[in-house]
A = this chain, B = another copy of it.
Amino acid sequence: MMKIGVDAMGGDFAPKITVLGAMAAIKKFDDIEIVLYGKEEEIKKYLTDDTRITIKNCNEVISMGEKDPVKIVRSNLDYSLVEALKDGKDLKVDAVVSSGPTQAVVAISRLIVKPMKGMRRVALGPVIPSLDGKGKFLLDAGANVELNAENIDQLAYFATVVAENALGWKNPKVGLVNIGEEPGKGRQVDKEAYELLKADKRINFFGNIEPKEMHFVDCDIFVTDGFSGNILMKSMEGTAKMMSVMLKEEIKRNTRGKIGYLFMKKNLDKFKKRFDVTEVGGAMVCGVNIPIVKAHGNSDEYAFSNAIRLARGMVKNDVIGKVKAGLGELGE
């Protein structure tokens, strides 16, 4: 039985969604227990079934606009995220899931749980939609504004192990996000990263990949620095949002559109689901000593339960142990 720590107070709709998501995950997986960190009274309002769920009361909540994670950690106040991560560090829980503010989750994870020995940087790794429905693993999506070539190569290896073990992808290919396909494209860091990735026998290097092709190509993992990765991810989000609104507007514009909609409602629902990030549930905080999943701030119950599913997969397949073994750090 594994234990997953859930920051019940993180996200736009906490603690309702986090509690409902936890109960949904418990129903799906009989091999997990969940510890909910947060205000006990508020949590109890929504916790209609406490099978394999316990509550650890915490009085403080990190605000979505929090800018000073170091102060949070040093405060010694009982923030729900901090307490969950402390228990993660002490191995009282096997993984942590939070919908809290991205930068705070990443920074506090690094401060409390600590990076793996041998991993220079902690990165954010979401699984983004792809045409084939399998998804693509992108990192770093925003934990570090700058990375050097060696950092990018490490992330490529980390992502390979995670993809093989937690996502079940066989011999995944790694692409370097770039402005052109040919070798020699990009900034100095991209050129250096290309050479390191090409020479790295632990990974299956695909080559440079332009974002206009990434959803279509036979390549599973995309690596870049955190600034570019964040721009890429948010540009996808923005474009998808714009197109969804445009489609809705055009359909509602006249009677023919509305009638057509009645016929193809289910088709459109399926379409929407295909590029919906909630299917994966969250981004992995990559490079720290335990599995940590950062769920979307606006996750619904389904998305949040999927974030828990992702954390469970990482624990079940001992992703962290395997990465450590690969980094030559198993005996630390």
Contacts and interface: CB of A to CB of B under 8 A. Distances in A.
9 contacts: A131-B242, A142-B179, A187-B227, A213-B238, A231-B235, A246-B271, A256-B264, A261-B264, A263-B263
A275 B263 contact: no
A275 B261 contact: no
A242 B213 CA distance: 9
Interface stretch (A37-45, A84-92, A247-255, A317-325): A247-255
Contact of A211 (B212, B231, B254, B257): B231
Q: What range describes how many residues of A lie at the interface? A: 35 or more
B260 A241 contact: no
Given A235-B232, A243-B240, A257 B263 contact: yes
A270 to B, nearest CB: 5
A179 B190 CA distance: 20
A132 to B, nearest CB: 10
A131 B246 contact: yes
Number of copies: 2
Given A212-B235, A212-B237, A145 B186 contact: yes
Contacts of A266: 256
Contact of A254 (B226, B238, B267): B267
B215 A242 contact: yes
A210 interface: yes
A274 interface: yes
A1 interface: no
Nearest to A240: B239
Contact of A251 (B182, B210, B267): B267
A227 B240 CA distance: 22
Contact of A275 (B230, B243, B251): B243
Interface of A: 67, 103, 129-131, 142, 145-146, 177, 179-180, 182, 186-187, 190, 210-216, 224, 226-228, 230-232, 234-243, 245-247, 250-251, 253-254, 256-257, 259-264, 266-268, 270-271, 274-275
A264 B268 contact: no
Contacts of A268: 250
A238 B251 CA distance: 23
Contacts of A210: 234, 238
Contacts of A129: 242
Contacts of A145: 179, 186-187
Contacts of A270: 250, 253
A130 B268 CA distance: 22
A64 to B, nearest CB: 12
A281 to B, nearest CB: 18
A238 B241 CA distance: 14
A203 to B, nearest CB: 22
B236 A239 contact: yes
B260 A262 contact: yes
A159 to B, nearest CB: 18
B246 A239 contact: no
Given A145-B186, A250-B274, A263-B256, A215 B241 contact: yes
B242 A243 contact: no
Closest 9 CB pairs of A and B: A260-B264, A260-B263, A211-B235, A235-B235, A215-B242, A212-B234, A212-B238, A257-B267, A239-B239
